[in-house]
Amino acid sequence: MTLVGTPYSFCGSYGTNSFFDTPCPSTPTDSHIMFHQKTGALLINSKPYKCKSL
């Protein structure tokens, strides 16, 4: 995933949540970016955003 020109690595998933960071922490749920696939919710450093399908 790339946001504003910064590439982030996929760190893992838990249920319908995917986690991204650079570098990945030892526990994926500690990542700075979380994406919820069903709702399109995107959390970056706990700040909520909303994504739309392309």
In a domain, 54, yes or no: no
Tokens of 12: 């893992």
In a domain, 13, yes or no: yes
Query: How many domains does the chain fold into?
Result: 1
Domain encompassing residue 19: 2-47
- Distance from C-alpha of 23 to C-alpha of 20, rounded to nearest angstrom: 9
pLDDT, tens digit, for every residue of 2-26? 888 899 999 999 999 999 999 999 9
Average pLDDT over residues 36-51: 90
Tokens of 40: 């399109």
Dihedral over alpha carbons 24, 25, 29, 33 (to 10 degrees):
-40
- Distance from C-alpha of 54 to C-alpha of 45, rounded to nearest angstrom: 24
User: Percent of the chain at pLDDT above 90?
Assistant: 72
In a domain, 53, yes or no: no
